Amino acid sequence: MMKKVVVCLLAGLVVVLSAGCGSAASGPGEGGHLTIGITFDRPGMSLRNVDGSFSGFDVDVARYVANYMGVPPGNIEWKETPPFQREVMLQNRQVDMVVAAYSITDARKEKVSFAGPYFVAGQRLLVASGDNSVNGPNDLNGKRLCAPTGSAPAQNIKKNYAQNTQLQEYDTNVACIEALRNNAVDAVTSDDAILAGFAAGDPQRLRLAGPAFTTEKYGIGLNRHNDELRSRVNDAIEHFVADGSWQRAFDENLGVSGYRPLPVQPVDRYTTAADTSTSSRAVLAEYGGPVLAAFRTTIALTVSAAVVAVLLGLVLVVMRLSPVASLRRAGTIYVEIVRNTPLTLILLFCSFGLAQTLGLTMVDSTSSTSLADSAFRLSVLGLGAYTATFVCEVLRAGVNTVARGQSEAARALGLGFGRTLGLVILPQALRSVIGPLGTVLIALTKNSTIASIIGVAEASLLMKEMVENTGALLLVGAIIAIGFMCLTLPTGQLFEFLAKKYSVKS
């Protein structure tokens, strides 16, 4: 029997290795198939329509290149490629190419290669159609501005226009556009080609303001070690421009907005991948201070949310243990709904639902730091409300460890429910769950990274910026990982010590 099992395992291993060798032998475009990474939420550039089809300038570029390489439209697999996963997906060969308003930079050339450029854009501003107060970056004094998290436009604002500008960062352009429509920000900044698509889709409410104030060359991202493919794609781009297809694609997708792009530049047929590796010393010199500031924000966010979670958790456990049926039911409903809702949705609800729709920002709207303060406090609220459900369940489990005779003795002495719970039951329950509460706090520390989706300047938001703007991926990952280890390991050891010291002796 054992021999048969070994033979089957060896046979399976041979099949897997054979399949792996077979896939490695075939290159992009071979066999009449391509996997192309695009974005799904940029009108005019690359948008997934309600019927599942795709449209936009980048989509037309990708289709033309694929057809030039002998791949028909039906053999293209479209894969969503978020901005901060583009390099990784190319390096891991999850996609053959990325066509997603992908600016060519030296930092990115350290990780991937580029064909093109096929488009020249520039950073610009999008404002409400009736707002004539903003026509360029010099008009941003005192204004609230939104940009995609860690993007080149966001970094440009921080470096050159941050003195009197409040910057709100969201993970997507769509979130920024929604904030503009809700009057939560005064302007959105990104590449003008991207903003033009949104303006074309809603010309009654949105308009492009002023001229471009940077230059961004869009290229087609490819695996860094495939010069032959880059040469073929460059050939396709040259034909795309020369035969008039470029102009037709632009007119159909972006021309209606009134946007006029910069002239297309000749493709860059560099023969070797860029070798501009960022040194560890340079990364630390540039980001050492911001890393410390980001972790200070992480600590403040964790501690504040922990206070909210413990207080709310105590209220919830009292409700769940209450002799009043309606309170028990309300506590149970809250715990079950919030605990089983993704934390991302809770934080987005706090930002878009409470702040933008209902106006509950919890800050003075005239403050010069109102956006940052609002994002931080809303994150504390969301993290605290979510974590409180786990605190409640941990405490409820601790209550179950207290002998029933304790509550019976308290009632015999004439103590009511509240005094019995507060003076007899909960103090003993807390001592028995110190360890699990430490685990909840560690989980809260790590969950604080999700606050970056609504622009809280904590560690994970800085990591996105560092990954986007440096080639030192391993160093960046190590810095952030070590930072979180410095936060979580001592926390675990402290709670382990407290659990042993205050454990209930049997």
Enumerate residues 6+ apart whose C-beta is below 8 A from 312.
384, 385, 388, 391
Rounded distance, CA 170 to CA 175, Å? 6
Residue 20 has pLDDT above 60, yes or no: no
> Residues 376-387: what's their mean pLDDT?
95
Considering only residues 338 and 370, tell me which one the structure prediction assigns the higher pLDDT: 338
Residue 322 is encoded by which pair of tokens?
A: 């209450």
Among 123-137, 168-182, 229-243, which range has the highest average pLDDT?
229-243
Predicted confidence at residue 373, as pLDDT, reads: 87
Residue spans of beta strands (DSSP E) within 73-225: 76-80, 97-103, 113-121, 123-128, 144-148, 166-170, 187-191, 206-209, 216-222
Rounded distance, CA 324 to CA 333, Å? 15
Indicate whether 144 and 227 sit together in one domain: no
Rounded distance, CA 209 to CA 167, Å? 18
- Residue 22: inside a domain, yes or no? no
Indicate whether 299 and 335 sit together in one domain: yes
Residue 258 has pLDDT above 50, yes or no: yes
Indicate whether 236 and 292 sit together in one domain: no
Predicted confidence at residue 399, as pLDDT, reads: 84
Q: How many domains is the chain built from?
A: 3
Query: For 28-46, what is each residue's pLDDT tens digit?
Result: 655 589 999 999 988 889 9
Residue 173 has pLDDT above 70, yes or no: yes
Please state, in angstroms and as integers, the Cα–Cα distance from residue 348 to each residue in 12, 49, 336, following that order: 46, 23, 19
Residue spans of beta strands (DSSP E) within 203-328: 206-209, 216-222
CB 86, CB 221: distance < 8 Å: yes
Rounded distance, CA 147 to CA 121, Å? 16
What secondary structure, in 3-state letters, does 99-129 show? EEEEECCHHHHCCCEEEEEEEEECEEEEEEC
Provide the whole-model pTM.
Answer: 0.75
Considering only residues 111 and 284, tell me which one the structure prediction assigns the higher pLDDT: 111
Residue 202 has pLDDT above 90, yes or no: no
Residue 191 is encoded by which pair of tokens?
A: 């590449």
- Residue 342: inside a domain, yes or no? yes
By DSSP bridging, strand 113-121 and strand 97-103 are unpaired
Indicate whether 100 and 191 sit together in one domain: no
> Residues 359-373: what's their mean pLDDT?
79
Indicate whether 97 and 201 sit together in one domain: no
Residue 468: helix, strand or coil by DSSP?
Answer: helix
What residues make up the domain containing 414? 280-501
Last residue of a domain, one of 213, 240, 271: 213
∠ at Cα 262 (258, 263), nearest 5°? 120
Rounded distance, CA 486 to CA 186, Å? 39
Residue 96 has pLDDT above 60, yes or no: yes
- Residue 224: inside a domain, yes or no? yes
Indicate whether 482 and 346 sit together in one domain: yes
Rounded distance, CA 331 to CA 328, Å? 5
- For residue 428, the domain's CATH number is 1.10.3720.10
> Residues 393-399: what's their mean pLDDT?
90
- Residue 274: inside a domain, yes or no? no
Residue 322 has pLDDT above 80, yes or no: yes
Rounded distance, CA 187 to CA 123, Å? 13
> Residues 75-98: what's their mean pLDDT?
90
> Residues 75-102: what's their mean pLDDT?
90
Query: For 445-457, what is each residue's pLDDT tens digit?
Result: 999 998 888 888 7
Indicate whether 169 and 43 sit together in one domain: no
Residue 164 has pLDDT above 70, yes or no: yes
Considering only residues 213 and 416, tell me which one the structure prediction assigns the higher pLDDT: 213
Residue 79: helix, strand or coil by DSSP?
Answer: strand
